[in-house]
């Protein structure tokens, strides 16, 4: 049964509502998968290299300086899958990706995007050894009717959360040279470039701070060069009725 397989796999003793395993919480709803005694299924599901565990979205911030090492291929696959499975109006599935991974193409994209509008270039733009190591071009198929902007927003959230679940930071970029990027990446009608997403392992921190009259909405750098992002209070943004 489930208990025997859990013991064999090194799980700690069960707690109400699920089990803790390797520091991860597995809800009881998943334990039914184990009752058939299929070891292949069990090991496939519980292989940590293939199983993505949800992280709360609040730690995910925008990052603009990156380590110069490739984004692992499993993260790329997770982001594509996150797009594929994103909710969208009437199941239209009109949002697509162009994955820019080769160093040559990544380098060509660098001058076609703009960074951190609230900061002077010497602070907001990454230096040569801080540039993103890959980009995603987020594309809308304009031949499909509907509210593509809403679908794109949902897809962007899913994609960047999938990356951050494995420690890859991102920056969603709308200040981009769309004509030049479309030509470079071979994006042609009816497809339309909407956003670029810069990606890599961040080399700086980013934290939320309370928004005040003094801060306003503009993010800024602290004495360590880390990003401070003012956010409104919960009370300002939500109410119950």
Output the pLDDT for position 61. Answer: 82
Q: Are 103 and 132 contacting, i.e. CB atoms less than 8 angstroms apart? A: no
Neighbour order of strands in the sheet with 95-100: 95-100, 134-141, 191-200, 169-173
Predicted TM-score (pTM) of the model is 0.77
195-204: pLDDT as tens digits: 999 999 999 9
How much is the average pLDDT of 71-99? 97
Q: In terms of Cα–Cα distance, which of 82, 23, 73 is closest to 48?
A: 23
Contacts of 52 (CB under 8 A, 6+ apart): 78, 162, 165, 166
Indicate whether 44 pLDDT > 90: no
Whole-angstrom distance between the N-terminal and C-terminal Cα of the chain? 46
Output the pLDDT for position 34. Answer: 45
**DSSP count for the chain of H helices, then E strands:** 9, 9
Give the percent of the chain with pLDDT over 90: 75
Q: Are 130 and 188 contacting, i.e. CB atoms less than 8 angstroms apart? A: no
Q: In terms of Cα–Cα distance, which of 148, 139, 150, 154 is closest to 97?
A: 139
Peptide bond into 190 cis (omega under 30): yes
Judging by beta carbons within 10 Å of its beta carbon (0-12, 13-18, 19+), is residue 169 exposed, middle or buried? buried
Indicate whether 19 pLDDT > 80: no
């Amino acid at each position: 049964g489930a208990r025997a397989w859990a013991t064999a796999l090194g799980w700690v003793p069960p707690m109400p509502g699920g089990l803790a395993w390797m520091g991860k919480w597995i809800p009881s709803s998943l334990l039914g998968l184990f009752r058939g005694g299929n070891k292949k299924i069990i090991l496939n599901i519980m292989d940590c290299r293939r199983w993505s565990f949800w992280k709360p979205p609040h730690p995910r911030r925008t990052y603009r300086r990156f380590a110069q090492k490739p984004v692992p291929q499993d993260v790329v696959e997770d982001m594509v899958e996150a797009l594929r499975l994103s909710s969208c109006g009437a199941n239209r599935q009109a949002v697509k990706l162009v994955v820019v991974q080769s160093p040559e193409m990544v380098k060509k994209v660098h001058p076609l995007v703009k960074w951190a509008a609230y900061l002077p270039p010497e602070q907001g733009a990454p230096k040569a050894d801080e540039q993103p190591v890959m980009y995603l071009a987020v594309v809308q198929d304009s031949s499909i009717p509907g509210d593509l902007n809403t679908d794109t927003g949902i897809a962007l959230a899913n994609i960047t959360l999938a990356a951050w679940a494995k420690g890859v930071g991102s920056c969603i970029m709308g200040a981009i040279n769309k004509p030049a990027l479309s030509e470079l990446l071979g994006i042609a009608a009816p497809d339309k470039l909407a956003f670029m997403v810069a990606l890599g392992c961040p080399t700086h921190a980013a934290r939320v701070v309370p928004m005040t009259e003094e801060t306003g909405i503009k993010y800024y750098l602290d004495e360590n060069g880390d990003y401070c992002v003012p956010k409104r209070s919960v009370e300002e943004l939500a109410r119950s009725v």
